[in-house]
Amino acid sequence: MNIDWFTFAAQIFNFLVLVVLLRWLLYEPIIRAMEEREEKIANRLEEANRKREEAENRKSEYEQKTQEFDEQHEQRLNESRQEAEKQRRQLLDEAKQAVDAKRDEWNETLDREREDLVAEIRREAAHVGFRAARQTLSQLADTELEQRICEAFAERIEKLDKQQHDEISQQLDDGNTNCSVASQFDLSDECKERLRQAVNGTFEIDGDIRFEKSDELICGLELEIGGYSIGWNANGFLQDMERRLNEKMKL
């Protein structure tokens, strides 16, 4: 078998040219297309992974925010409940204090009204007692009692303390010589004379003494001389006792 080396070489050359052409025209575009496709797939996978991670991150963030919101909501509910309970207790305390204050005020008012009523009853009873005493003393007054009072009053004039005696004497020296004696009933001549002796002997005056009647005096006498008043009577004593009793009732 004869081999045509030229033909063989030409076929080899053609084969090599074909391989080069196939590689340049077919394989490389296919490989490049495959590489580009792989790159696109890889990019898509990477993008998908990135989006998946973002989705997972967003999911985690959403779940975290949801949990935080739930916690904040629960916390706010608890705070609202506590604040409501606090306000409820405060309102109850204020209402209780207001009721207690009002009750104390009512009790104080009742106590004050009761004390005022008792004091008024006591004052009225005292007034009735003093009026009865005045009427009784006025009815008991007679000539003998007036005579004794007259003698006791004359002795009181004669035994005046030095200061009061000097003050009255000074007024008499200055010209104020008016002199009068007041009594509830008309005095006897004997009683009048005894009083003249006491006044003239004590103050050394010669002027006349006026004798007057006064319904305000009970079992007593009152001397007006030199602008001064000297006297004692049961009505004045009762008035002083009544005044002291009223003062004690006000305490």
226 torsion bin: left (phi>0), alpha (psi -120 to 50), beta (else): left
Asked whether 194 and 146 are in contact (CB, 8 A), the reply is no
Q: What is the dihedral of CA 52, 54, 56, 62, to 10 degrees?
A: -150
**Span 210-214, average pLDDT:** 84
Sign of the CA dihedral running 235, 239, 245, 249:
positive
Q: 223: which 2 tokens?
A: 């001397």
Q: Is the pLDDT of residue 233 over 70?
A: no
Could you report the per-residue pLDDT of 120-152, keeping only the tens digit for each?
Answer: 655 554 444 445 444 544 444 455 666 777 888
Per-domain residue ranges of the chain:
143-250
- DSSP, residue by residue, 59-81: HHHHHHHHHHHHHHHHHHHHHHH
Within the chain, where are the H helices?
A: 5-22, 28-140, 143-158, 162-173, 189-203, 234-250
Give the Cα separation of 103 and 101 in Å (integer): 5
Q: What is the pLDDT of residue 141?
A: 47
Which residues does 224 contact at the CB level (< 8 Å), separation at least 6?
178, 179, 180, 181, 182
Give the DSSP letter of residue 149: H
Is the pTM here over 0.75, yes or no?
no
Q: What is the DSSP letter of 169?
A: H
User: Tell me: the pLDDT tens digits for 70-110?
Assistant: 788 888 888 888 888 888 888 888 888 888 888 888 888 88
- Is the Cβ–Cβ distance between 159 and 113 less than 8 Å? no
> Which percentage of the chain shows pLDDT scores above 90?
0
Dump pLDDT digits (tens) for 14-31: 777 777 777 777 677 777
**Is residue 237 pLDDT above 70, yes or no?**
no
Q: Is the pLDDT of residue 236 over 70?
A: no
Q: How many residues does the chain have?
A: 251
In this structure, is the dihedral angle defined by the CA atoms of residues 27, 33, 36 and 41, taken in order, positive or negative?
negative
Cβ atoms within 10 A of the Cβ of 15, count? 10
